[in-house]
Amino acid sequence: MTLVLTVVGLYMAAMLAVGIIFSKKASNAEEYYLSGRSLPTPVLMFTFAATWIGASSTMGKSGLAYVNGISAISPTIGSFIAFFIFTAFAGRIRRIGAEHNVSSIPDLFEKRFGKATSLIAALVIAWTMICTTGTQLIAFSKVLEYMFSPYGISYEQALIIGMAIVVFYTMLSGMYGVAYTDVIQGVILLVVIGLIVPVGVMGQVGGFAELKLQLGREYFEFSPDISMLGYTFTSFLYFVAGPPYWQRAFAAKSSRSATRGSLGGNIIIIFYTFAVVITGICAACIYPSVSESETEMVLLMVTEMFFPPIVYALTIASIISVIMSTTDSYLILSAQTVTTDIIYKVTKQRSQKETVIISRISVVAVGVFAVLYALKMSNIFEAMMLSMTQFSAAVAVPALAALFSKKVTREGMISSMLSGLVSSIVWSGVLHNPWGISEAISGSVISLAVIVLVSACTQKKGKPAPYFG
């Protein structure tokens, strides 16, 4: 345990040092939120991947593989497809951002459709980002609680410790610290969780033939149920129009960097996902009767049992790095949304220096709200899906329409967002997902139908739409 504490302590100290070093570079809003639009391809690859590779895709995914076998990969299929599609237009996002001084999805909406569309989108995005931050904190606390269990650290105490660490370095350095710590964290997790752990655990169980013999053929048959298909669709919508990924495209050094960074990030994600799923399946062979509440801890359990203490220590550090890399991404985006897309829409603009100060306060405030959310939830994967569905239903279709359609109107945008949001809430909360269909599916279909119909009815001739002229 001393070795684990030492490795994790050194890692935490390194992350805090990065935050302090980069705090001097974030002197204005563009540098704080977008790293001055200067991120090169290698950094973008890792920050795209590290933003996606979080608690749900590590602990949640390995737990899902433990229960469902290879079918656990199905929610990620939507993400894979979404990222390849996103790669095709990441360069366009960067170009529009630079030419029109756009820094976020709500900002994109305002410059084309006005303040009302921007504010609605910002409120939905802020809620989604805060909840997603809370999801990562759930995992952070579970790892810290597991690690410090001999010392009597409770889940709630671990939650506060985890939040304080991430908030501190994110608050200081902004996007610079987030992106460059993502590189460090990405390398660690690929080597340890992506390579060492699955190869070692597979060797312990005797290879694929032994796995099939012990677990049965059905464990390796791809047969997702309707709920899995709902997760897949939700993941697709969220990641093709996800605010953290658009933010990274806006922050790219060039359009080419945005495109290549997105493609490279997706390749990392595919490799990592298969590694985590394999580890979860191997854990099912090793621990055939883990309780439902412990399935998300199987990755740590197999590492502790079969590997030397240094590998176990590095695995814990890797999982913490996974969680921190995603948490800081959502924290900085939440702060940007709250500060520039909500507060500044209802109050006067501030100076660049004041904006950075208010943004840092927003990081702390978001962290507090995320902790409150994390205290109400316990399952990482379910918490992640809950936070993604309402964004997918309300904002995904309008975001893509704003980027690609000349004919969409202000009235169509507002109607689409409101109808998608309300219908998803009613579908889930009142109708309880009829036929097992996810509210993200019903909400986005209604959102698409409304934006087409209302825009057709309110179409006006005039000057070319922004971003197309």
Backbone angles phi, psi at 213, to 5 degrees: -65, -40
Report residue 429 as tokens.
Answer: 């909360």
The distance of Cα 445 from the centroid of its chain, to the nearest Å, equals 23
Confidence at residue 52, expressed as pLDDT on a 0 to 100 scale:
86
Name residue 263's beta-bridge partners: none
Residue type, position 338, single letter? V
Confidence at residue 458, expressed as pLDDT on a 0 to 100 scale:
92
C-alpha separations of 89 from 28, 107, 161 in Å: 27, 18, 39
- Long-range contacts made by residues 140-149, C-beta under 8 angstroms, separation at least 24? 140/55, 140/166, 140/320, 140/323, 140/324, 140/327, 141/374, 142/59, 142/296, 142/297, 142/380, 143/59, 143/300, 143/316, 143/319, 143/320, 143/323, 146/297, 146/300, 147/4, 147/5, 147/8, 147/316
Q: For the chain, count helices (H), then strands (E).
A: 22, 0
How many CB atoms lie under 10 A from the CB of residue 291? Answer: 7
Confidence at residue 248, expressed as pLDDT on a 0 to 100 scale:
94
**Smallest Cα–Cα separation from 338: which of 134, 125, 115, 168?**
125
Confidence at residue 270, expressed as pLDDT on a 0 to 100 scale:
92
Domain residue ranges in the chain? 2-393
Answer whether 61's CB lies under 8 Å from 220's CB.
no
Report residue 315 as tokens.
Answer: 């695995």
Confidence at residue 313, expressed as pLDDT on a 0 to 100 scale:
87
Of the CATH numbers 1.10.1130.10, 3.50.50.60, 1.10.3720.10, 1.20.1730.10, which one belongs to the domain with range 2-393? 1.20.1730.10
Chunked into runs of 10 residues, the chain (469 residues) has average pLDDT values of 81 77 75 90 93 81 88 82 92 94 93 93 90 80 76 80 82 81 86 92 88 82 70 83 93 96 94 93 88 83 89 84 79 89 82 83 90 75 72 92 92 96 90 85 94 93 67
pTM, 2 dp:
0.86
Confidence at residue 211, expressed as pLDDT on a 0 to 100 scale:
84
Report residue 129 as tokens.
Answer: 């980002």
